[in-house]
Amino acid sequence: MLKIRFSMKSLLATATVLVAFVSQAGILTLTGVYQNKNLYVQNPFTGDMRNYCTNEVYVNDVKREVNINSSAYEIDLSFLKVGDPVTIKIAHKDDCKPKVLNPQVLTTKSAFVWASFTVDKNNIYWSTRGEAAKGKMFIEQMRLNTWVIVKEVTNKGSAVLNNYQVESFHHSGLNQYRIKYLQADGQVFYSPVVEFTSDLPPVTFYPKRVTDKIFLSREVEYEILDAFGNMIRKGVGQEIDITSSPAGVYYLNCDNQTFKVYKK
């Protein structure tokens, strides 16, 4: 029979995820939340001292390749996102049982919650409850299929209600934002993704064959990359001087778009 003991601290926490073991018919099960750390397993011999105990390892019902022919092994969880629910199943022989050495890494006792998160034409708003002291908030925007940090904010640290507002960073068309909250103890919490469609006109530029300057249709943040993907210039403006750059192919990233530019 599985016995679970609750401490007073765990009863008071509003967002405690229980890590539970179940060993039944040669399967050890561990459930919790991914906290950016891997699991380590002690893998004893079977009763005849000829084989190791573990047969197979599954993460969220998908078989994972681990070195089960060893007295200890690591279960790599780095393919998950922080905060993802995770279930580990270790199939083992009947006359032995593996031991997970650090099950606590799948337990979160933070009371933190995202209370709200909205975006309008000019600003990004969000509120939280259950913050810890000395944390940081990172506002991230999807740009060219990659999450990019566009603003860093020191958190207020109140356990009750914290309200935030920062200026938006819209490009033309569909914008996607999320917020990463990093506690001082290393725990990470991601907000839901919020979308906003901007009515800003898409940025255009001229000329495509450049002698000295690239002219943009409006002032924006930009990057210039060489043919090998190395950034050679970055800034905010409507004119980009590349007089000193050698002739060749360059790439202009701006307004969530990539343009090919030829330097004469």
User: Do 110 and 132 form a contact (C-beta atoms < 8 A)?
Assistant: yes
Asked if 8-106 and 113-198 have one fold, the answer is: yes
CATH 1.10.3470 fits 8-106, yes or no: no
Beta bridge partners of 248: 263
pLDDT tens-digit profile of 202-231?
A: 999 999 999 999 999 999 999 999 999 999
Q: Which CATH fold topology does 205-263 show?
A: Immunoglobulin-like (2.60.40)
Residue 169: count other Cβ atoms within 10 Å of its Cβ: 16
For the domain with range 113-198, which CATH number is right: 2.40.128.20, 1.10.10.10, 2.60.40.10, 3.30.365.10?
Answer: 2.60.40.10
Q: How far apart are CA 17 and CA 60, in angstroms?
A: 16
Domain regions of the chain by residue span: 8-106, 113-198, 205-263
- DSSP 8-class letter at 45: B
Q: What is the pTM of this model?
A: 0.60
Residue 1: count other Cβ atoms within 10 Å of its Cβ: 2
Element (H, E) at 237: strand 231-241
Asked if the bond preceding 246 is cis, omega within 30° of 0, the reply is no
Identify the residue whose tokens are 């070195």.
67
Lowest mean pLDDT among 81-95, 171-185, 234-248: 81-95
Give DSSP secondary structure letters for 140-168: EEEETTEEEEEEEEE----SS-EEEEEE-
**What 3-state DSSP class applies to 228?**
coil
Among residues 240, 203, 219, 204, which one has the least CA distance to residue 232? 240
Beta bridge partners of 59: 62, 88
pLDDT tens-digit profile of 123-155?
A: 999 999 999 888 999 999 999 999 999 999 999
pLDDT tens-digit profile of 29-63?
A: 998 888 889 999 999 999 889 899 999 999 999 99
